Structure 1
Amino acid sequence: MGLIELYASMFFAFLKIGLFGFGGGYAMLPLIQHEVVYRYGWIALEEFTDLVAIFQTTPGAIALNSATYIGYSAVTTAGYGTLEGILGSVICTAGVSIPPLIIMTLVCTFFFKIKHNSWIQAALKGLKPAIIGLIASAALILMNQRNFPDYTSWGIFLVIFIASLKKVDPILLILIAGVAGVLLY
């Protein structure tokens, strides 16, 4: 596959992810995995699950972070240079960003005029279970055999969960979980 073909396939793959990725980054994970791991093979499944963990700790949306990384990685792994990889990052990031930008511009323009329409209300109610299903699917993807949480992970989770219910500062909880992970593993 030539560079132009690679750029085009990356752009349209991430355009599709951006177009159908309702519900945010976690809901997009199954779509991203299908395209980049199974359909095109740009990264391996193990690398994908590792990347999701890394993207959770970095600022920014998961979809944008994954598009940026995968765009660079796919191009450089195909044997092209750093500049071509950077352009791959830009192309993938643009692909995943354009549909939500257009959709939100249209929605914001017309939503206040039609928000009480019964068809719109029904469509929004119909999207809620689909989004929950996509997020649950993302959780199952992350719990593949290699990464299935052990009892220590469940213990850390429970302590952090209970502390979050007590309204402990989230940044402190992240630090505590990180330190616990380093000490226990």
Structure 2
Amino acid sequence: MMRTMNKIDEIVFELDIRPISASRPRVFKNGGVSHSETYQKFAKDVPTEIENLFSEEEIELMRQKLRNDDINIGYKVHQDLIFRCNNEDFWDVPMIVKPDIDNVIKAVFDQVYNYLGLDDKRIFSVESIKKYGSNDKIVSWIEVFEIPKYVSKRKTRKRTKKEPTLEELEKELEKLMRGVDNE
């Protein structure tokens, strides 16, 4: 039997904020840990940008769309990571210089999607494009799917314990009673 996934919702938004690279946190001799100033500023600016763009009700609605305890859900994430460029001949041209796309994706996932309550482990597809544009921007389109619950076809080696018959229970009780009488 072929199991299919059903699209149940989607969320589309854009944030006018420069996508930045998630760098490794710095670890100090005293045990303290700190991210770069750029990353810290990004982490502080993301919630502010989202709260300025959407009302509390809209943010809560997005969070509800991304969370469902009744069914198994998964996400397909599409994002355009746009970096400002003055030369309009290059707008929409893929950006193949630093920052590395995997580090930018990490920062966006950790700050933007985490703020909205998206559970990383439920993401089954990511499409990210890093390109030049007229302004710094993160454009996201998140599709929410109902995913069939996985059931293994592999047989387990555990044997299910057979329920004892009435006869077997009576014999066991007899043995126990004899043990008590002998004491």
Normalised by the length of structure 1, the TM-score is 0.26
Normalised by the length of structure 2, the TM-score is 0.26
Structure 1 or 2, whichever has the larger Rg, is 2
Structure with the bigger percentage of helix: 1
